[in-house]
């Protein structure tokens, strides 16, 4: 069974940066999985922000984070990452990762409501 643990969150001032990590386990190699990042702010629905495909590493971003966030992966370490720059107060949320062994996952990830989420990591952007 796939297990996910997010880390790297914290308190940062507006304009600052954070790098989130997603440790994935329960399978042989991450290279067979697409990786996506989501966030959920208080009182709001979970939002799909970014995805990286499993075959060629194509990346996808929502309009709210494009140009500021960068998704990446290290298959050898079974790790996914989200580099977040130019953070804004509206980026405050709990951030989650999800992996799926699907070629088309990055086309549908934004609507993924399937269970088995990790604990998430809190990101707070405040002066």
**Residue 1, pLDDT score:** 85
C-alpha distances out from residue 52 to 17, 42, 59, 71, 124, Å: 20, 26, 4, 7, 24
**Residue 116, pLDDT score:** 76
**Residue 113, pLDDT score:** 84
Residue 33: other Cβ atoms inside 10 A: 23
Q: What is the pLDDT along the chain (127 residues), one digit of tens a residue?
A: 889 999 999 999 999 999 999 999 988 889 999 999 999 999 999 999 999 999 899 999 999 999 999 999 999 999 999 999 999 999 999 999 999 999 899 989 988 888 878 899 999 999 9
Residue 28: other Cβ atoms inside 10 A: 7
Helix ranges (H only) for 1-127 are: 105-108
Q: Where does residue 92 rank: exposed (0-12), middle (13-18), buried (19+ CB within 10 A)? A: middle
């Amino acid at each position: 069974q796939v297990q996910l643990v997010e880390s790297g969150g914290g308190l940062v001032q507006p304009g600052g940066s954070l790098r989130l990590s997603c440790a994935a386990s329960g399978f042989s190699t991450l290279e067979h999985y697409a990786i996506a990042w989501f966030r959920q702010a208080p009182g709001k629905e979970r939002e799909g922000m970014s995805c990286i495909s499993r075959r060629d590493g194509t990346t996808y971003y929502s309009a709210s984070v494009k140009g500021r966030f960068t998704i990446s992966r290290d298959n050898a370490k079974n790790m996914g990452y989200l580099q977040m720059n130019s953070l804004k107060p509206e980026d405050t949320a709990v951030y989650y990762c999800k992996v799926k062994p699907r070629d088309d996952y990055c086309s549908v990830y934004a609507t993924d409501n399937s269970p088995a989420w990790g604990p998430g990591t809190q990101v707070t952007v405040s002066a």
